[in-house]
Amino acid sequence: MSDNFNYWSLVLDTLRTKVSASNFQSWFSPLQFENVTNEGRKVVLVAPSEFHRNYLTKKFSKILQESINKYYPKVIHIEYKIQESNGREKIQEFLDLADTSSTQEEPTVIDAYLPAKNLSNLNTKYTFENFVVTRNYEFVYQVALGVVNEPGTLYSPLFIHSPVGLGKTHLLQAIGHTFLEKDPAKNIKYIPSETLFNQYYHALSKKEVDKFREYYADVDLLLIDDIQFIGGKNAFQEIFFHLFNTLHQANKQIIITSDKSPKDLIGVAERLVSRFESGLVTDIPRPDLEDRITILKDKAKRLKLSLSNEVFQFLAERITNNVRELEGALNKIRALIIQDPIRDISVDLVKRMFKDQPQNFTIEVSISPDKINQVVSKVLNIKPEQLLSSNRDKNTALARQIGFYLYKTELNLSFPHIGKLFGGRDHSTVMHGYRKVKELIEQNNPEVVNQVQLAKQLLNS
Ligand code: ADP
Ligand code: MG
């Protein structure tokens, strides 16, 4: 392999750990790696649009540069090409970019918060062609095909939920691609709910909520990823509710993904939850051993990795959590082969890899009291020991109560047991704290909803 070997997927893995999932999805996933030139000093990337490039260079250039340098230490320059028009995604003009030429330094991208109409935001990486339909995906796959054939009528909305890394985003975008293949004139939008919220927020600050609403009311297929992030954002939920109804009444297809089922969403208005439940709700079961082997084999083939059955078996037994981690393991193995192309990938070698770098494989995400303490302290910005102390300042007290809440909901421990773990507190104190947090969440208290949501996210990552 030459210097030009594509380490891009490893760069992406690094980036994934540095930015939020939705930022990753919106800004980094769509980038394509072209090559490294100028004796390793320049990397050429393809961005889907100028807007994309501008935003990326404005917001993330440092992180991107650092992540690239991890694998391409000599790179000092990043060049962007803009994706060629392929009939579907033309080089875009953005709604608000009409009069940009005069103000060069002014970050015009800030105004272009709604992408061009013909821009679906779909990532070409996520198609049905490379989606492996193992047993656990059969149901959701059939449902997806059903929706493609009878949009807006069969299952509307379609609500797909699962823990991370099981292919929701992939599937959602694959549906989008198939839709467009059938009818390229269709107006399709893929959007993580966090990005949708940001657009709304931007529209609000510019007093253009109508424009935002009209923009989405015109969509034929709306693909909303990771809906859980709308929790606690009440004004936005209001707008979204109306948008949902508008689209639904016009028989437009809506597909939503989430990390939990509608009724487990935190801080989401009841009427939205019942809308989400009004079509078809399905989860994605985790792949079993056989499924995982099939997925590994398929992915290895695409990566041109030839591995023994023993290695596949070993990996599939060890990595049980999700497909992303299976991919991560194969990428690591690929990196080993790049370093030493003639190396034989034996089970022993792979075992050693696990031993040396267990954190890269995070075999099981197991939630423990200790992990909850760490996460809660992080989210509320206190030291973990404060949680167990007798300190009564407001923030610490809230942190402790959120801790009680998570011990209950995530670990299902009894109140007396939780009290013991919290330095011998009385069970009634624990119960009171737990109820208080629960109530605040039910009342959509934005601060607490965000804190709990963030903590849960961290716990599961
Ligand atoms: P989620 O959105 O549920 O967190 P993703 O769609 O991001 O999961 O999937 C994580 C990674 O695993 C992606 O790279 C995706 O392509 C891959 N993946 C997940 N499920 C499958 C599958 N059934 N076939 C092929 N790749 C998959
Ligand atoms: Mg996803």
CA atoms of 336 and 417, how far apart (whole Å) = 46
pLDDT, tens only, 241-274 = 999 999 999 999 999 999 999 999 999 999 999 9
For residue 103, the model assigns a pLDDT of: 33
Q: Which ligand has its closest atom nearest to the C-alpha of 284?
A: 1
Cβ–ligand 1 distance for 281 under 6 Å, the answer no
Cβ–ligand 1 distance for 276 under 6 Å, the answer no
For residue 157, the model assigns a pLDDT of: 97
SS3 content of the chain, % helix, strand, coil (to 5): 55, 10, 35
Atom of ligand 1 nearest to the CA of 132: 24
Q: Name the most confidently modeled range: 26-30, 131-135, 378-382.
A: 131-135
For residue 239, the model assigns a pLDDT of: 95
The secondary structure of 103-156 as a DSSP string is -SSS-GGGG--S--TT-----TT--STT----GGGHHHHHHHHHHHHSTTTSSS
For residue 218, the model assigns a pLDDT of: 93
For residue 35, the SS3 value is strand
> Could you tell me the pLDDT band of residue 369, with boundaries at 50, 70 and 90?
confident
Q: What is the mean pLDDT of residues 165-171?
A: 96
Cβ–ligand 1 distance for 140 under 6 Å, the answer no
CA of 220 to the centre of ligand 1 (A): 25
CA atoms of 288 and 419, how far apart (whole Å) = 37
> Could you tell me the pLDDT band of residue 162, with boundaries at 50, 70 and 90?
very high
CA of 211 to the centre of ligand 1 (A): 34
Task: Give the residue, 57 or 418, on which the prediction is more confident.
Answer: 418
CA of 25 to the centre of ligand 2 (A): 8
The residue written with tokens 């339909």 in the block is: 133
Q: Nearest to residue 450, comparing CAs of 382, 379, 394, 361? A: 379
Cβ–ligand 1 distance for 247 under 6 Å, the answer no
CA of 223 to the centre of ligand 1 (A): 16
Residue bearing the CA closest to ligand 1, atom 9: 167
Q: With 90 as the cut, is the pLDDT of residue 85 above it?
A: no
CA of 12 to the centre of ligand 1 (A): 14
Residue bearing the CA closest to ligand 1, atom 16: 170
CA of 98 to the centre of ligand 2 (A): 33
Percent of the chain with pLDDT strictly greater than 70 = 90
Q: In what order do the strands lie in the sheet with 77-82?
A: 32-37, 42-47, 77-82
> Ligand 1 test: best mutation among 134, 166, 260, most atoms within 8 Å of CB?
166
> Could you tell me the pLDDT band of residue 298, with boundaries at 50, 70 and 90?
very high
Residue bearing the CA closest to ligand 1, atom 23: 132
pTM reported for the whole predicted model: 0.61
Which of 23-27, 127-131, 152-156, 187-191 comes out lowest in average pLDDT?
23-27
Cβ–ligand 1 distance for 329 under 6 Å, the answer no
Cβ–ligand 1 distance for 162 under 6 Å, the answer yes
Q: Nearest to residue 413, comparing CAs of 357, 354, 372? A: 372
Q: Is 118 exposed, middle or buried (0-12, 13-18, 19+ CB in 10 A)?
A: middle
